[in-house]
């Protein structure tokens, strides 16, 4: 168990050099180094040097003010119901803002401790769990994946449909490995972004139970290692973590990742007080307006997925990605070795194209291409942009997202980690992505000014 008794929960480690905006909407802390730089100029520099330090601080403040303005304008115009966003560098938190409301047009305002459904952003947590078990020698990246299910032990590849619409399958040409699963190259797909997977599901649903039992629930869309397709791969990794560790997934997360990092607002099940801070889900109508979805039923799960179902908050999730930015440790808790974190951020799929998804259900997701005309690859848990991003992100930055338009990125070159959270369907919502882009540009404006 990786618990450090002297760990501290996430906290702001820098004092504010300057503040803007209304207190109930945002609180911002600049890097210690930035404050120290300003102080050094005032004490030891003369004339133009002091002016340059002053100008740097003005440029940084102007960039952060722009983020506030963008968030305030977007929530007042109800382009998004509410948003919480945070960013940090090695020295500490450099931005945090909470704007709008948890429920459009009513209810409490967004706050830094608002709880969100983070969808597929759980996949990084599951990947961290798997990498811990690799470090302990309990599983290996390139050995056949543990046979926790026939879908892994004897994978079948969908090769087409006959004249009657019945699916045609054959055995996979090679075993599925953990590396395949962690990089979405095993062949599993989500029906939401794969027309053949959707057609297969519909085809077997129409068969008699006896025939349906003879077919795999989760066939592969291609042979392992030959293509990339986003799918249920990390769901299977969660099953593997449970089987190898001997712990239920929620307990493994709690014991080895969440508690050591002080992530008290992250989990599969939330308390009544956390539910009182939960943001409501909203849906984008064809005319561009938003309507709140009915509140979900409170159900206590008994089984847990490595690919979805986790709740978290912006401060909690920022803690997780700051741990990765800092080579596997944070606030005295060592979660992974530095070399393991470095491996997670490296291209693991060679020249295979990744990251572009075509929706089969526009009500749940738009088509996805976060970096048009930029080559994309996959590491262990993250998407990687192989060229600089349009909003300031460096080459080889790491990112992914959740279905309800929650997003994060880690920039190891410029030493920035950031999280953006709202609760809107469909995925890859254009107004939310536009606001996310403005947030990113503002963060890099502040970072570059320093």
pTM of the model: 0.88
DSSP structure class, residue 300: -
pLDDT attached to residue 321: 98
Give the DSSP letter string of 34-73.
Answer: HHHHHHHHHHH--THHHHHHHHHHHHHHHHHHHHHHHHHH
Helix pair angle (122-135, 233-245), 10° resolution: 40
Q: How far is 142 from 183, CA to CA, in rounded Å?
A: 12
> Could you tell me whether strands 424-425 and 282-284 are parallel, antiparallel, or unpaired per DSSP bridges?
parallel
Q: Which two tokens stand for residue 405?
A: 């338009």
**How many residues are present in the chain?**
450
- Residues in Cβ contact with 139 at an 8 Å cutoff, skipping those fewer than 6 apart: 130, 133, 146, 178, 240, 244
Sign of CA dihedral 197, 203, 205, 209: negative
Query: Which pairs count as long-range contacts for 69-75, CB under 8 Å and 24+ apart, including other chains?
Result: 70/435, 70/438, 70/439, 70/442, 71/97, 71/99, 71/100, 71/435, 71/439, 72/21, 72/25, 72/99, 74/99, 74/100, 74/431, 74/435, 75/99, 75/100, 75/101
3 state SS of 11: coil
> Can 396 be counted among the known catalytic residues?
no
pLDDT attached to residue 42: 30
The answer to whether 372 touches 390, Cβ cutoff 8 Å, is no
pLDDT attached to residue 53: 66
The answer to whether 354 touches 376, Cβ cutoff 8 Å, is yes
> Can 58 be counted among the known catalytic residues?
no
> Can 230 be counted among the known catalytic residues?
yes
Sign of CA dihedral 223, 227, 228, 229: negative
Considering 230, 252, 317, 444, which one is annotated as catalytic? Answer: 230
The answer to whether 139 touches 146, Cβ cutoff 8 Å, is yes
Q: Among 387, 424, 383, 421, which Cα is nearest to 400's?
A: 383
Considering 120, 218, 313, 396, which one is annotated as catalytic? Answer: 120
Q: Which two tokens stand for residue 166?
A: 């019945």
pLDDT attached to residue 54: 74
Taking the chain (450 residues) in runs of 10, the rounded mean pLDDT of each run is: 39 33 41 35 36 71 95 97 97 96 91 98 98 98 94 96 94 98 98 97 91 92 98 98 98 98 97 96 97 85 94 98 98 97 98 97 98 98 98 98 98 98 98 98 93
pLDDT attached to residue 51: 56
The CA R_g of the chain, rounded to the nearest whole Å, is 23
Considering 61, 63, 123, 396, which one is annotated as catalytic? Answer: 123
The answer to whether 391 touches 437, Cβ cutoff 8 Å, is yes
């Amino acid at each position: 168990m990786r618990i450090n008794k002297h760990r501290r929960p996430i906290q702001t480690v820098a004092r504010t050099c300057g503040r803007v905006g209304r207190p109930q909407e945002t609180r911002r802390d600049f890097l210690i180094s930035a404050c120290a730089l300003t102080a050094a100029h005032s004490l030891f520099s003369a004339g133009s040097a002091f002016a340059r330090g002053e100008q740097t601080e003005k440029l940084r403040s102007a960039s952060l003010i722009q983020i506030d303005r963008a968030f305030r304008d977007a929530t007042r115009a109800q382009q998004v119901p509410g948003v919480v966003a945070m960013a940090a560098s090695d020295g500490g938190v450099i931005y945090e803002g909470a704007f709008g409301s948890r429920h459009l047009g009513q209810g409490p305002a967004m706050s830094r401790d608002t709880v969100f459904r983070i969808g597929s952003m759980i996949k990084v947590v599951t990947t961290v769990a798997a990498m811990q078990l690799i470090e302990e020698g309990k599983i290996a990246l390139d050995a056949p994946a543990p046979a926790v299910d026939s879908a892994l032990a004897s994978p079948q590849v969908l090769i087409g449909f006959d004249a009657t619409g019945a699916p045609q399958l054959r055995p996979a040409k090679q075993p599925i490995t953990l590396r395949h699963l962690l990089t979405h190259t095993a062949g599993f797909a989500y029906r939401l972004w794969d027309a053949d997977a959707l057609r297969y599901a519909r085809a077997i649903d129409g068969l008699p139970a006896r025939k349906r039992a003879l077919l795999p629930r989760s066939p592969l869309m291609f042979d392992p290692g030959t293509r990339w397709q986003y799918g249920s791969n990390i769901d299977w990794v969660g099953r593997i973590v449970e089987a190898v560790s001997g712990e239920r997934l929620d307990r493994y997360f709690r014991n080895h990742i969440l508690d050591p990092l002080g992530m008290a607002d992250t989990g599969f099940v939330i308390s009544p007080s956390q539910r009182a801070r939960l943001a409501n889900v909203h849906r984008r109508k064809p005319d561009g307006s938003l309507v709140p979805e009915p509140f979900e039923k409170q159900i206590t799960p008994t089984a847990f997925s490595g690919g979805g179902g986790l709740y978290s908050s912006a401060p909690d999730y920022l803690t997780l990605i700051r741990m990765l930015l800092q080579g596997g440790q944070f606030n005295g808790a060592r979660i992974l070795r530095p070399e393991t974190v470095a491996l997670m951020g490296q291209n693991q799929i060679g020249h295979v194209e990744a990251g572009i998804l075509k929706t089969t259900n526009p009500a749940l997701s738009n088509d996805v291409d976060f970096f048009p005309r930029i080559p994309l690859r996959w590491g262990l848990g993250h998407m990687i942009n192989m060229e600089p991003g349009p909003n300031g992100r460096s080459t080889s930055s790491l990112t992914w997202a959740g279905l309800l338009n929650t997003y994060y990125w880690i920039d190891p070159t410029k030493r920035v980690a950031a999280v953006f959270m709202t609760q809107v369907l469909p995925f890859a919502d254009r107004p939310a992505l536009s606001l996310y882009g403005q947030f990113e540009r503002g963060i890099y404006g502040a970072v570059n000014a320093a």
